[in-house]
Amino acid sequence: MVNTSVALSGLVLDNPVIAASGVFGYGREFAELYDINILGSFSIKGTTLLPRFGNPTPRIAETYAGMINSVGLQNPGADKVLEEELPNIAKIFRKPVIANVGGFSAEQYALCAEKLAAAPNVGLIELNISCPNVHGGGMAFGTDPAAAAEVTRAVKAAVSKPVYVKLSPNVTDIAEMAAAVEEAGADGISLINTLLGMRIDLRTRRPVLAAGMGGVSGPAVFPVALRMVYQVYEAVSVPVIGMGGVSSAEDVIEMMLAGATAVEIGAANLTDPFCCRDIVNALPAAMKKYGIENLSDIIGGAHG
Catalytic positions: 131
Q: How far is residue 128's CA from residue 112's CA, in Å, rounded to a whole number? A: 12
Question: Is the CB of residue 134 less than 8 Å from the CB of residue 105?
Answer: yes
Q: How far is residue 276's CA from residue 258's CA, in Å, rounded to a whole number? A: 20
Q: Give which of 192, 197, 171 is closest to 66, Cα–Cα.
A: 197
206-207 and 214-217 beta bridge pairing: unpaired
Q: How far is residue 60's CA from residue 70's CA, in Å, rounded to a whole number? A: 6
Neighbouring residues of 153: CB distance < 8 A, sequence distance ≥ 6: 106, 184, 185
**Upper half-sphere CA count for residue 130 (Cβ side, 13 Å):** 24
